[in-house]
Structure 1
C-alpha cells in the first residue's frame, strides 16, 4: 500500500508539472501572438524632406489602422543603403518598405521611359499618367517582374540643374562634370546635351562637389537644400528637365506574411500618406528656392526648348528599346 500511495503521489505531481509547463507554453505563444510585427522602411533622403515626412505619416497610419499589430520603423539618409540596395533588399525580404525614385528602371525596363528628359510637360501630365490606368498597370507588371509591390506614387517637384559654372544654353554644358543617378536615360540624356555625366550615390554628392570631383548635379529643389548643396554650388539653372515621382514600394514576401486586414490597412495608409506628402511638396519647393537665394545662389532662367531638342534622338531610341507603346501613350496624353 505504501508503494501504491507513493506511485499515486508521484503521478499527481507529474501531472501538475506537465499541466504547468503546458500552461506556460500556451501563455508564451499567446504573448508572442500579441506582439506587434515590426517592419523596416528605408529611403535616401534626410529627415527634413517630404519623403521622410510622408513616410512618418505612413508609419503612424499603419499602426493606427492595424490597432498596433504592425509597426513601421524608419531608416532615412541611406541608413539601409542606396536606392538599388533597398530594392534588392525588398526582393529577398531584408527590407520591408522603401521610397525609391528612378532606379527601378534597373529592375524593370519600362521605368526607363518615365525617366526620359522632357517626356512630361508638367506635373499635371505626370499625375494623369501615374494615378490613371497607366500607373496601375505599371505597378501590377512590376510585381510580377520583380517581386516588389508598388503601393503608391508620391509626387516630386521638377529636377533642376545646379552648377559652379554659369549655364545659359546647352553649349555651356560642354565638358561639365555632372552627378546623375545610375539611370540610363539620365546618363545618355546629359551626354546628348553636352555634359560629362557621372553616376554616383546621392550620399557622396556634397563632398564630391566640395572637392571638385564633380562640378554640378541635378535634383528637385528641396533635395538640394536638404543636402545643403547651396553651400557648394553657385548657380540654380531652371531646366525642369524631368517631372518625377518617388514610389512607395513593399516586399511582396513581407506583404504575404500579413493578415488580409493588415494588408488592407497598409494599402489604405499608403494612399492617405500619398495625399499628405503631395500637399507638402509645393510648400517645400518654395522654401527651398528662398533658401538657395539667401545663400547667394543665382537663379538662371533658360530656354528649355533648346535643351529639349538635344535629347529627342535619345528619347526615341530608348523608347524603341524599353517600351514604344508606353512612350506613345504618354505623348498622346499631352494632346
Structure 2
C-alpha cells in the first residue's frame, strides 16, 4: 500500500470511529433526556383508579414524545395515603391518587368528608369542577407543596358488615374501619359505631380474623379487594359522595419544562374524563359481584343516619372552614 492509500484508509477509519462514537453518544443523551416519574395509589390493578392511571401514563408519554414516562405502583407499594402525600412533599414520589386524607395536610378538605354533606354526584361535580374546587386546590398547593391536577369522581361510599344494620342503633359496638379522617371518625361515632382507622391494605385480614366487623367504601373499590369474601351485608348508606385527586409533587412539576407541564395537565384532564366514565360502570359490576358472592343488599331509610351526624357538621364547619361548608350547602337544590 502506497503512502497516499494508507492516509486515505486512516481517514476513512477515523470517520467511521467518529460516526460510531457520535451515534452512541446521541443514544446515551436520548436515554438521559427521558424523565421517569413514579405514581402511587392504594387500590388494586382491577380498580378504576388503576385503569385511569394506565391511561394517564400512556397519555403523558404520548404527549411528551417520550421525554416523560410514568411508572405505576398500585396496592400501596409506595405506602398508604399519608406516606404518598409526605413523599410528594419531599419529592420522593411524583404523583399519587389521594382522597380525604389530604384533610390531615390542608384542613379545609375535612369539610368534604362529612357524611351526608353532598346530596348526589351532580352536587359534588358542581362544587369540584367550579371555581370553589380550583380555589381549594390552589390553597392546598400553597400550604402543602402538593399540586392538584384533577378531581376524579368516585361512586358513593357504602357500608359492608357481618351484622344486619338498618338503623343507627344497630351500629352500637360495631368495629368499623374508616380512613384516618376526623370527619369520618366523628361521623361514624355519631351514628353509633366504634370507628377504627387503619391502612386499607390491612382491612381484608382484619375482617377475616374478626378484628373488624365492617368497613365503608364504594362498592367496586371494596370488591376489587375481595371484601365480599369476608362480609355478609352491603348496606346502602350513600353516606359520602366522594372524589379522588390526581396529585403531583410541585418539586417534580417545577423540574419539567413548560411543554411537559402542559402535557401532564392535558393528560390528567383526559384521564379524568376516562375515569369518570368507567367508575360508575364498575360500581354496577361491583354490586353484581357482591350478589354473586352471596352478600345481601340492604336498602335503608337514610334519614336517621343523616340526622345523627348533623352535630358533627356544625362542629367540623366551625373548626375548619365554615365559609366553605356554607358554600357547599348553598349549592344544594
TM-score bracket for the superposition, by shorter chain length: over 0.9
Matches within 5 A, 1:241-320: 241-320=239-318
Cα separation, 2, equivalents of 1:280 and 1:306: 32
Query: 2:134 corresponds to which residue?
Result: 136
Matches within 5 A, 1:67-106: 67-106=65-104
What is the DSSP-based 3-state SS (H/G/I as helix, E as strand, rest coil) of the residue aligned with 2:93?
Answer: coil
Cα separation, 1, equivalents of 2:77 and 2:52: 17
Question: Normalising to structure 1: TM-score of the pair?
Answer: 0.92
What is the DSSP-based 3-state SS (H/G/I as helix, E as strand, rest coil) of the residue aligned with 1:288?
Answer: helix
Cα separation, 2, equivalents of 1:234 and 1:92: 42
* Matching residue within 25, 28, 33 for 1:31: 28
User: Are positions 1:53 and 2:54 aligned together?
Assistant: no
Query: 1:10 corresponds to which residue?
Result: none
In the TM superposition, what is the alpha-carbon distance from 1:28 to its structure 2 partner?
4.3
Query: 2:3 corresponds to which residue?
Result: none
In the TM superposition, what is the alpha-carbon distance from 1:33 to its structure 2 partner?
5.2
* Matching residue within 302, 323, 326 for 1:325: 323
RMSD across aligned C-alpha pairs, in angstroms?
1.7
In the TM superposition, what is the alpha-carbon distance from 1:27 to its structure 2 partner?
6.9
In the TM superposition, what is the alpha-carbon distance from 1:332 to its structure 2 partner?
0.2
Question: Normalising to structure 2: TM-score of the pair?
Answer: 0.92
Query: 1:112 corresponds to which residue?
Result: 110
Cα separation, 2, equivalents of 1:148 and 1:178: 30
Cα separation, 2, equivalents of 1:291 and 1:145: 41
Q: Which runs of 4+ in 1 moved over 4 A?
A: 23-30
In the TM superposition, what is the alpha-carbon distance from 1:31 to its structure 2 partner?
3.0
User: Are positions 1:63 and 2:69 aligned together?
Assistant: no
In the TM superposition, what is the alpha-carbon distance from 1:294 to its structure 2 partner?
1.0
1:298-326, Cα deviation, whole Å (9 max, x unpaired): 01111111100000000111001110000
User: Are positions 1:155 and 2:184 aligned together?
Assistant: no
Cα separation, 1, equivalents of 2:293 and 2:181: 30
Query: 1:232 corresponds to which residue?
Result: 230
Cα separation, 2, equivalents of 1:54 and 1:26: 37
Matches within 5 A, 1:146-225: 146-225=144-223
Matches within 5 A, 1:1-20: none
Cα gap change, 1:321 to 1:25, in 2 (>3 Å) = farther
In the TM superposition, what is the alpha-carbon distance from 1:223 to its structure 2 partner?
1.0
In the TM superposition, what is the alpha-carbon distance from 1:172 to its structure 2 partner?
0.3
Cα separation, 2, equivalents of 1:163 and 1:325: 35
1:51-109, Cα deviation, whole Å (9 max, x unpaired): 00010000000000000000000000000000110000000000000001110000000
Cα separation, 2, equivalents of 1:254 and 1:306: 46
Unpaired segments ≥5 residues, structure 2: 1-16
Cα separation, 1, equivalents of 2:23 and 2:322: 59
1:19-62, Cα deviation, whole Å (9 max, x unpaired): x99x9799748833553100000000000000000100000000
In the TM superposition, what is the alpha-carbon distance from 1:297 to its structure 2 partner?
0.5
Deviates more, 1:25-34 or 1:179-188: 25-34
1:125-155, Cα deviation, whole Å (9 max, x unpaired): 0000000001100111110000000000000
Query: 2:12 corresponds to which residue?
Result: none
Query: 1:12 corresponds to which residue?
Result: none
In the TM superposition, what is the alpha-carbon distance from 1:282 to its structure 2 partner?
1.1
